[in-house]
Amino acid sequence: MHLSNYPLFSLILPISCVATLYETIESLPSTTYDFVIVGAGAGGSVLANRLSENSKTSVLLIEAGPSYQYRRPKQHSSYADAEPGTGSPWDWNYTTTPMPGLDGRSIPYPQGHILGGSTSANTMAYTRGSFEDWDRYAKLSGDSGWSWLEMLPYMFKNEKWTAPNDHHNTQGQYDPLVHSTTGITSVSLPGFPHPFDPLAIATTKELPKAFPFNLDMNDGFPLGLGWPQSTINGAQRSSGATSYLGPQFMARSNLHVLVNTRVTRVNQTGTDSGKPAFRSVEVTQSETGPRKLISAKNEVILSAGPVGTPHILLLSGIGPEKDLSALGIQTILNNPAVGQNLTDHPMISNMWYVNSNGTFDVLGQNTTAFAADLEQWNKTQFGIMTDAPIAFLVWSRVPNGSYSTPDPSAGPNTPHYELLFANGFLSAVDTLPSTGSFMTLVSSVTAPSSRGELTLNTANPFDQPNINPNMLATDFDNFVMASAINATRELVTASAWKGYIIREFGDLAAVTDAASMKAYIQQKSTTIFHPVGTAVMTPKGASWGVVDPDGIVKGLSGLRIIDASILPVIPSAHPQAHVYFLGERASDLIRAAYNLH
């Protein structure tokens, strides 16, 4: 695959017989579809694909951001830069409210604004989480269909296990029995070796109690240290845009994709057996541009992500009445759960100076080397640009009895925290020094007890909402973060690292007591970009929650939500796989409901 082979769908394919990418609302051939899906990220890309499998079903997918082919070349490669696009046209450019747990800091809050959504901008880690996380979803939603065992077939429908780019021998690096080669999204082991790979593996032998080797962290039992699996296909990112919306699917005449178009609200279309029906979306291409309505015969499905979906609901009069009326928005459905329970994983980047000339730091330090590596990637599809940002993952728990609050994790096989190895300086807070080579061990709290919220700031859909992930707000989360930082220091005490690790970088080196640990956590923590839970799924008839276990919005008709917003609790994992799986099962539920088989 060559860069210039990227599909320019609407330009090369004749419009009459193929699904087409539409750039303007006026060019769209219809204003009514069987299904209208809002947002082309992890959730929306799956639904658009699966619902259009039946050629008699017409599907419109609406995306606020541009089409994937405009992405800068560097990010077509699997190498992801340290700045995930904040301030670029591919990002929503959100900022959080000040967070007390972060010393009152506001932080950038990137969300993909492009075909593929955040799967086109993310770090590509592919983690299914623990079986306990899924079994808890089944319990909290009252639907056993969300349990680990019942979700396995959907995990297999999503995953297309793919050889790593360097085609190295992967025996002993994963368990083939728990993988699928027949799904849609490519998943692979790292395709570029790191100088410290043997040292990380040696650590599991030297310190097996703290860092046991885990052959495959995607078998439902993630605890331990193992090789990471990433959404990478050879030398390229495998995103919702390149997998579920790949050229073979975009060729369907019953699938239309409208980009550069923002949904500003959902509009009531009538009443079904006493419930307000919402089968229209209001769209526009600019803040001052005209607003048009596009309608669904069956359903509007919101997949606008954990920020976009609650934002649209609130703008539409679906949310807490007192907040809405304060902004002059008429409440159609008073539901205090909309926007509440926003949860995210805090992370901190711990860096070490290392004795190596094989880190990716050179890409940020030497523009000549960067250009040479990019050219090598472009010409040969090999080299450091094909590397995954993550070299190893460790999943771990704080000891039993070390805390007195209820355990927020889903059970004893579910991590409280994660460590993430990067072969260079990976920080959203500190700046890469102009010289020196580095290793980063990110610490992240993956079973946090803190909860935040998302509320409207103004009634203008072009003003961002108030986003308060409220990370590190509890003693438990701060205790886990400190434990995870201590664990990184313990890890590099293994004798294997002698000669490789030189010394701790910057503020980590200054962490010597409880006070400096607290200051380090408050001043250096940021997000690992995993917001969920702003429109939670609860059992049918529950007094709290936004959607039923099938994603249908409680109290309304014709409106469903399938994205990261509906996860009842944050998974102790990177969540893109969870959202792909939600999309796969929801597609089956929808097809059954409308007899689309």
Ligand X SMILES: *[C@@H]1O[C@H](CO)[C@@H](O)[C@H](O)[C@H]1NC(C)=O
Ligand Y SMILES: Cc1cc2nc3c(=O)[nH]c(=O)nc-3n(C[C@H](O)[C@H](O)[C@H](O)COP(=O)(O)OP(=O)(O)OC[C@H]3O[C@@H](n4cnc5c(N)ncnc54)[C@H](O)[C@@H]3O)c2cc1C
Site mask for ligand X (CB under 6 A), range 374-393, x = bound = xx--x---------------
Q: Pick out the residues of the known binding site for FAD.
A: 263, 575-576
Is residue 459 close enough to count as binding ligand X by CB under 6 A?
Answer: no
Residue 76 interacts with which of ligand Y, ligand X, none, CB < 5 to 8 Å by class: none
Is residue 62 close enough to count as binding ligand Y by CB under 6 A?
Answer: yes
Is residue 519 close enough to count as binding ligand X by CB under 6 A?
Answer: no
Which run of H or E residues covers position 353?
strand 346-354
Active site residue 179: no
Least CB distance to ligand X at residue 160 (A): 26
Residue 305 phi/psi, 5-degree rounding, is 90, 175
Burial (CB count within 10 angstroms: exposed 0-12, middle 13-18, buried 19+), residue 14: exposed
Nearer to ligand Y, 360 or 476 (CB): 360
Q: At 502, list the tokens.
A: 């030189």
Whose tokens are 């017409």? That residue is: 58
Nearer to ligand Y, 308 or 320 (CB): 308
Least CB distance to ligand X at residue 340 (A): 4
Given the residues 179, 416, 530, 578, select the one marked as catalytic. Answer: 530
Residue 448 interacts with which of ligand Y, ligand X, none, CB < 5 to 8 Å by class: none
Least CB distance to ligand Y at residue 71 (A): 13
Site mask for ligand X (CB under 6 A), range 230-249, x = bound = --------------------
- CA 233, distance to chain mean position in Å, is 18
Q: Distance between CA 388 and CA 232 in Å, rounded?
A: 8
Least CB distance to ligand Y at residue 46 (A): 9
3-state helix, strand, coil in the chain (%, to 5): 30, 20, 50
Which run of H or E residues covers position 588?
helix 576-593
Is residue 416 close enough to count as binding ligand Y by CB under 6 A?
Answer: no
**Binder to ligand X among 34, 135, 159, 282 (CB under 6 A)?**
282
Burial (CB count within 10 angstroms: exposed 0-12, middle 13-18, buried 19+), residue 370: middle
Q: At 543, list the tokens.
A: 């007094």
Is residue 483 close enough to count as binding ligand X by CB under 6 A?
Answer: yes
Site mask for ligand X (CB under 6 A), range 71-90, x = bound = --x-------------x---
Least CB distance to ligand X at residue 385 (A): 10
Give the three-state DSSP class for 557.
Answer: strand
* Cβ-Cβ contacts under 8 Å for 313 (sequence gap 6 or more): 266, 302, 319, 338, 339, 535, 546, 553
DSSP secondary structure letters along 124-164? -B-----HHHHHHHHHHHT-GGGSHHHHHHHHHHHEEE---
Q: At 107, list the tokens.
A: 């932080």
Q: Distance between CA 230 and CA 342 in Å, rounded?
A: 26
Q: Distance between CA 562 and CA 577 in Å, rounded?
A: 13
- Select the span of 22-30, 105-113, 204-212, 405-413 touching ligand Y (CB under 6 A): 105-113
Least CB distance to ligand Y at residue 519 (A): 26
Residue 474 phi/psi, 5-degree rounding, is -115, 155
Q: Pick out the residues of the known binding site.
A: 263, 575-576
Number of residues that bind ligand Y (CB under 6 A): 41
Active site residue 167: no
**Binder to ligand X among 293, 326, 592, 593 (CB under 6 A)?**
293
Could you count the other beta carbons within 10 Å of the beta carbon of residue 205? 12
* Residues 118 to 147 in contact with ligand Y, rule: CB under 6 A: 118-119, 121-125
**Binder to ligand X among 230, 285, 340, 359 (CB under 6 A)?**
340
Angle at 355 between CA 376 and CA 371, to 5 degrees: 20
Residue 374 interacts with which of ligand Y, ligand X, none, CB < 5 to 8 Å by class: ligand X
Site mask for ligand Y (CB under 6 A), range 511-530, x = bound = ------------------xx
Contact 124, 231 (CB under 8 A): yes
Site mask for ligand Y (CB under 6 A), range 576-595, x = bound = xx-x----------------
* Cβ-Cβ contacts under 8 Å for 159 (sequence gap 6 or more): 126, 179, 180, 183, 185, 187
Is residue 355 close enough to count as binding ligand X by CB under 6 A?
Answer: no
**Binder to ligand X among 372, 459, 592, 593 (CB under 6 A)?**
372
The radius of gyration of the chain from alpha carbons, rounded to an integer in Å, stands at: 23
Please report, in angstroms and rounded to a whole number, the separation of the first and last CA atoms in the chain.
Answer: 34
Q: Residue 383 is which amino acid?
A: G
Q: Distance between CA 159 and CA 172 in Å, rounded?
A: 20
Least CB distance to ligand Y at residue 69 (A): 15
Residue 165 interacts with which of ligand X, ligand Y, none, CB < 5 to 8 Å by class: none
Least CB distance to ligand Y at residue 418 (A): 11
Give the footprint of ligand Y on this chain (CB under 6 A).
Answer: 38-44, 62-65, 84, 110-113, 117-119, 121-125, 262-263, 303-306, 308, 312, 529-530, 563-564, 574-577, 579
Catalytic residues: 530, 574
Give the footprint of ligand X on this chain (CB under 6 A).
Answer: 3, 73, 87, 93, 95, 267, 282, 291-293, 340-341, 357-358, 366, 368-369, 372, 374-375, 378, 400, 412, 451, 479, 482-483, 486
